[in-house]
């Protein structure tokens, strides 16, 4: 579902350059929950942002659902991005919009008719358990509730892939558990492919099928979670 080939990302210019990713290869299969773990500065954030081209790779190929994204024109890229949802550590919600409107936002941008938007948003509110809170603003919500809004918004365009950028790092352990349970449920229900990055081992052990360890911009180890972490 996701294939990264020889992915390289260099920030800065010739005088002062930082190589965040160097020739990284990674394959994530359809329907799996794949975790990338590594220390701060290892390149996790750059990696996940390259998958939807929030960050332009310097070199290499990004394949999602059989389409290579780096060579697409603007319009085609916009279309393909609908297949890729993303959630963030700090939720990135619109503070002046209600829960309902935050979830509806991507559908409005896509020009979906209002009745269809309402049906979809209500379905998503139900899924993430926020029907009762749909008229509230982000500031009135707990961290876990905010992330539920983030998840609902990410699912609005029926993506094939969900990217999670340190999605539970700002949450307490109990809330983290409930969000990870929700991600598991969504993965099972929709056969959604999930790629998450984290610096927390327990997140990987809790929900991931396979894991890759990233170090200095490259994958240094990869395999099923039980094999990578339970070696003698
Ligand atoms: P992680 O998410 O694992 O902490 P990052 O992808 O954020 O790693 O960073 C990898 C490397 O790239 C680090 O050395 C970081 O300083 C550098 N880096 C990240 N973003 C930028 C940027 N916008 N400009 C310059 N350097 C950056
Ligand atoms: P605007 O054009 O001002 O962005 P709309 O004209 O789309 O807003 O009006 C729809 C409004 O109905 C939304 O702003 C939303 O707050 C409100 N609303 C709340 N709950 C629902 C719901 N379950 N179904 C439809 N609309 C809802």
Residues in the chain: 232
Residue 33 exposure: Cα atoms within 13 Å on the Cβ side = 20
Contact 74, 19 (CB under 8 A): no
Name the closest ligand to CA 117.
2
Give the C-alpha separation, 194 to 170, whole Å.
Answer: 19
Q: What is the mean pLDDT of residues 36-51?
A: 96
Confidence of residue 187 (pLDDT cuts 50, 70, 90): very high
- Helices (H) and strands (E) counted in the chain, each on its own, are 8, 10
Tokens matching residue 169: 């790092």
Q: What is the mean pLDDT of residues 145-158?
A: 98
Confidence of residue 201 (pLDDT cuts 50, 70, 90): very high
Long-range contact pairs involving 102-111 (C-beta distance under 8 Å, separation at least 24) = 102/138, 102/149, 102/153, 103/149, 103/152, 103/153, 103/156, 104/156, 105/153, 105/156, 106/153, 106/156, 106/157, 107/156, 107/157, 110/82, 110/157
Q: What pLDDT digit, counting tens, does each position of 74-85 carry? A: 999 999 999 999
Confidence of residue 115 (pLDDT cuts 50, 70, 90): very high
Q: What is the mean pLDDT of residues 102-113?
A: 96
Q: Which residues' Cβ are closer than 6 Å to ligand 2?
A: 98, 100-101, 114, 118, 122, 134
Residue nearest to atom 7 of ligand 2 (CA): 114
Q: Can you tell me which residue has the tokens 């993965």? A: 187
Query: 232 pLDDT exceeds 80?
Result: no
In this prediction, what percent of the chain has a pLDDT beyond 90?
A: 95
Say which residues have a Cβ less than 8 Å from residue 211's Cβ, sequence separation at least 6. 34, 35, 36, 37, 204, 222, 223, 224, 225, 228, 229
Chain mean pLDDT for the chain: 95
Question: Which atom of ligand 1 lies nearest, measured to the CA of 19?
Answer: 12
Give the C-alpha separation, 170 to 164, whole Å.
Answer: 13
Query: 121 pLDDT exceeds 70?
Result: yes
Q: What is the mean pLDDT of residues 101-129?
A: 97
ipTM of the complex: 0.70
Give the residue ranges of DSSP H helices in 64-200.
Answer: 74-81, 99-109, 114-128, 143-155, 173-190
Name the closest ligand to CA 49.
1
Query: 231 pLDDT exceeds 70?
Result: no
How high is the pLDDT of residue 161?
97
Q: In what side-by-side order are the strands of the sheet with 161-165?
A: 84-88, 161-165, 193-198, 33-37, 210-215, 218-224
């Amino acid at each position: 579902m996701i294939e990264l080939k020889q992915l390289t990302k260099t920030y800065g210019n010739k005088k002062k350059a930082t190589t965040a990713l160097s020739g990284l290869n990674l394959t994530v299969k359809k329907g799996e929950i794949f975790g990338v773990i590594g220390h701060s500065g290892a390149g996790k954030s750059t990696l996940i942002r390259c998958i939807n081209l929030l960050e332009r790779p310097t070199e290499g190929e990004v394949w999602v659902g059989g389409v290579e994204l780096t060579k697409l024109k603007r319009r085609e890229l916009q279309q393909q991005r609908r297949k890729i949802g993303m959630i963030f550590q700090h939720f990135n919600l619109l503070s002046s919009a209600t829960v309902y409107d935050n979830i509806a936002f991507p559908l409005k941008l896509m020009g979906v008719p209002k009745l269809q938007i309402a049906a979809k948003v209500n379905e998503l509110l139900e899924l993430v358990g926020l029907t009762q809170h749909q008229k509230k603003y982000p500031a009135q919500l707990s961290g876990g509730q905010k992330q539920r809004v983030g998840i609902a918004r990410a699912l609005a365009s029926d993506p094939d892939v969900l990217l999670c950028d340190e999605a539970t790092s700002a949450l307490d352990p109990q809330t983290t558990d409930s969000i990870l349970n929700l991600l598991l449920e969504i993965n099972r229900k929709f056969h959604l492919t999930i790629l998450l990055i984290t610096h927390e081992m327990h997140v990987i052990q809790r929900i991931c099928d396979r894991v890759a360890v990233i170090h200095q911009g490259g994958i240094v180890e990869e395999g099923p979670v039980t094999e990578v972490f339970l070696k003698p």
